[in-house]
Amino acid sequence: MGRTEWRKATRLFAKAELAALELSALRDDGENDPPPPQFLNTTESEPASRETIRDVFEAYRTELQRIGKARDAEARWAPIIDSLVNHVGHNVAVQITRRDVVKWTDHLLETLSPKTVRDSYLATARAAFSWAVDKIDLKLNPFAGIRVRLTKKLRTREKGFRLDEAQAILKASRAYKGSVKEHPKMTAAKQWCRSWRPIPGARRGDMPVARRGRPT
């Protein structure tokens, strides 16, 4: 401890001793305790962050775009930001609490799927405020740790087609008849492609195309 620090400590000890004597005298006289001495309040209050919610998202988006990411973030994030600001009822980033986030999440789940809430709304807000904690004077990320559990879809039937369904699909695909000029292999390939169409998630571009004897 240097000379300056030692002097400060000595003065504080002296003030504390005088305050203790004064308090003891007041109690002996039956008086109420006075408020704590001002010198005991050694912590200086830090100015609250003035960043708005929209400022946080805007600054985060700007940094992402600077490195070539989030080109369409302005349009994609607009409904997320508007929903958050409207729900909490203010635009002050530091005033968002964990309770606010939980209520906002519950509100979103009333109209949106859990996957959309988790992967779009919460993920975007969590990333933006995490960036704000690292880059600007935001102390906490209220979105950290908030999770949305996805429920498995109830299966109402077994996977695959029933025998009658498979027979109907194959019958319909075999019903295709090519033109007189069409090569038999091309006709067979088109029949095969038609049998793919009822498969859930199948896309026309995924279906094989006959090219000189080999499917690609």
Tens of pLDDT along 16-29? 777 777 767 766 66
pLDDT surpasses 80 at 103: yes
Single-letter code of the amino acid located at 38: Q
Does 25 map to a domain? yes
Question: How many structural domains are present in the chain?
Answer: 3
pLDDT at 60: 94
pLDDT at 185: 83
* Whether residue 169 is found in the same domain as residue 120: no
* Whether residue 63 is found in the same domain as residue 110: yes
Domain that holds residue 67: 53-136
* Whether residue 23 is found in the same domain as residue 75: no
39: its two tokens: 């010198």
Helix axes 73-88, 98-109, angle to 10 degrees: 110
* Whether residue 18 is found in the same domain as residue 69: no
Distances (CA, A) of 137 to 21, 44, 83, 160: 42, 16, 24, 55
At 146-160, the pLDDT tens digits run: 999 887 766 777 777
Does 150 map to a domain? no
Does 57 map to a domain? yes
pLDDT at 202: 55
* Whether residue 63 is found in the same domain as residue 26: no
* Whether residue 37 is found in the same domain as residue 57: no
pLDDT at 212: 46
* Whether residue 20 is found in the same domain as residue 70: no
216: its two tokens: 């690609």
Does 186 map to a domain? yes
pLDDT surpasses 70 at 215: no
* Whether residue 37 is found in the same domain as residue 69: no
At 155-207, the pLDDT tens digits run: 777 777 777 877 887 787 778 787 878 888 887 877 777 666 666 655 555 55
* Whether residue 86 is found in the same domain as residue 120: yes
- Distance, in Å, from the CA atom of 92 to the CA atom of 37, rounded to the nearest integer, reads 34
pLDDT at 174: 76
pLDDT surpasses 60 at 213: no
